[in-house]
Structure 1
Amino acid sequence: MITNSKIRMGVYALAVAFFGGAMLAGCNEVVAPKDAKSQDRKIEVEYERGPHKGRMLRVGDLAVEITIFEEGVEPEFHVYPYWQNKPLDPTEVKLQVTLRRLGPRVDTFSFEADGEFLRGKGVVKEPHSFEVTVAAEGRSVSNSWTYESYEGRTTIAQAAADANGIQVEKVGPARIDRVVDLAGRIELQSQGRAEIRAWYSGRVIELTKTIGQTVQKGEVLARIEASDTLRTYQITAPISGMIVERNVNVGDVATQAIYVINDPDSLQATFFASPRDLEALRVGQPVEIRGLGEQKTTGKIKLIMPRADPSNQATIVYAEFQNANRSWLAGMAVEGQVTVTSDNVPLAVRTQALQPFRDFRVVYARVGETYEVRMLKLGRQTAEWSEVLGGIDPGETYVSKNAFLIRADIEKSGAAHDH
């Protein structure tokens, strides 16, 4: 006797309609449309469980109990056969299980007897979300069953996804930069500051500049009458820049610095590196310099001091940069990001796309209007990119922005990990 039975079951099959007309409130809350009836969205579809807590599939005398075994091994099928409700010798049964996953992938498993059960040949890879077809033959009886077992899956109308800023892109290669973050401040370079003093003791006869005025190298700044010879001499600017201090007036005896000149173009970023960070730093490495607001520029490490501060073991690192528009000022607090290595990797996803799911870090793949988890094995990570070592295929479309909205809808749907 040949019997065919088609069973449509699963914890998710009745819960996918939520987003068909749903709207997302704010930036982190998923709500049902206004005309939706109040209901618990975690819909449990019960099915018969066997002695091993698996899914029982029955037609006539021949039945099988489907389980996925995960204790101490990678997930694998363990299937227990029965005849007239009693255990059947697995050697008397031929079995095949086909998993149709979201997208084009289909996994087919053959089985071999192992004690009291049939063991599937191969790993049941995550996510355990698929349409299952089971074909069993035993004692001249052939049965087949089909059921749905979904987890981490939801359906969202394209219009709703677009309206709420859900963006996607394809998994592919990326450049992974390893960076070192530093804190510091903007300082004048040593050649960017000059104190203007009298060459010989004497009285100030003339001053040509005041605070805030710019000067050019070689420009006359003062005339001094020497006390011993009463001869008058002039003092010129040794550098170009701006007068930031004027400490004497005409008629004073010049015993201190007459002027102080700062060159606003001769600035440098001074950073403080810990011993751990210092190991990766080299002269010539690029540095992104950021102010406390939106201000930023690029520079290069020009000097790493050959000594550490005994009190905190920090080493001073100097970076040079251009201050053409004079937007940077000495004394400003800054942060630096030094790119110490740069590698091209064949597969990466946006770090902001990563979400927690059970004990995994996941992204959400999209096929049509359906979204489903992809459990990832990750390598190197930066704030922008995360290297993928496994769990998603090249070219697969995934949610790169606002993925937390997908997670929220899946968590509300109660699409559980259940076999």
Structure 2
Amino acid sequence: MKTNLFYAALLSPAFLYLAACGNDAPAPSAANQTGQAVDGEHEETGGEDYDGHEEEASDHVELSAAEAEAAGIRTAEAETGTVSGQLELPAEIRFDADRVARVSPQVEGIVAELHAGEGDTVNAGATLARLTSRELAGLKADYLNALSAERLARTELAREENLWEKKITSEADVQSARASFSAANAAREAAENRLHAVGIGHGVLDGLDEAADGALAQAYVTAPITGEIIQRSVSLGETVSAGGEPVFVIIDDSVVWADIAVYKEDLGKVEEGQTVILQRDDGQRLAEGKISTVLPVIDETSRTATARVIVDNAEHRLKPGQFVTARIETGGAAAVVRVPSDAVVTVEERLSVFVPTGDGFQPREVRSGASSDGYTEILSGLSAGDEFVSEGAFTLKAQLEKDAFGDGHGH
């Protein structure tokens, strides 16, 4: 800058001399010349500094050694060690879909009685509610009419056949009687099937002739499985419809599913038949089972596949909706490059560890393997002897994300 000012001052008399020799255009002053030189220099260097700042800030956290120590950031060298053949993955307890019953009435009616409510344990076949149903009364009446017509047609056919044997009636009358009986029989079967379709069995049909007055309109909602009622959505006097929303939900949680979220990089290690231990976050063991299936679909949102374990839950220790940790036995232990599991973080959707630079730290993408006992295997991205951040990786990640939104100064 000083050099530029010196040259500007030196050249000023020359400019004045040229102006005096007849140049009509006004000569720029030394100050203007100097200002233009300074501005040009600032524009040229300032742009370079800005670009470098942005590039460096995108994946770098600048910290001095004293600042890093004050933030609790510690480094270590990656070393080889044993990581047992286990995967620790998140899992969610779910209902066994074959042990959930959403019960709806099979005919329209009005709720006359309720025999069970939420929290009650019921057996398969137990009556949950009684309805008064005009629809069912009509179906039963149709069946009784069809049954009566069939009996009459059967009697008429038997009489015509007897007369035919005695040569008293014509063959045409016999054929007519047979046709009438066939039609009556078909009508009775159709009426009976309509009753079967709404849950009326032969035990009820056989007693319809002797049913008490008003009994034809009585419909019953029964439990299809043994279990606990977790939802009841009707009240006395309410009108319910066939095929509508379930009025009772019954679950049998003596057997549940544990759906394990398997990351795509771990899919090759997970297969049917592997032993799985389910435990709480504090390490308490809850249950053990084997992988029954690995679903062949990766969720588009979580980018994970599902490995399912069917778990015996007779003691009801596992609750559907509960999150647990699944430890999967994948094989024997081996000597590998390993780091503390807390040193591995996700930066911009990539697994990474932080490594020191000359003036701070930056993330380095890695590919991880098995995890156990607080250590994670590193398959690539970090070699034995490489220095990395062993404590404080989450602090650096938070600072990096803060800088990305323009709130920090990691440059």
- Taking structure 2 as the reference length, the TM-score comes to 0.40
- Taking structure 1 as the reference length, the TM-score comes to 0.40
Answer 1 or 2: higher relative contact order, Cα 8 Å, separation at least 6.
2
Higher helix share: 2
Higher strand share: 1
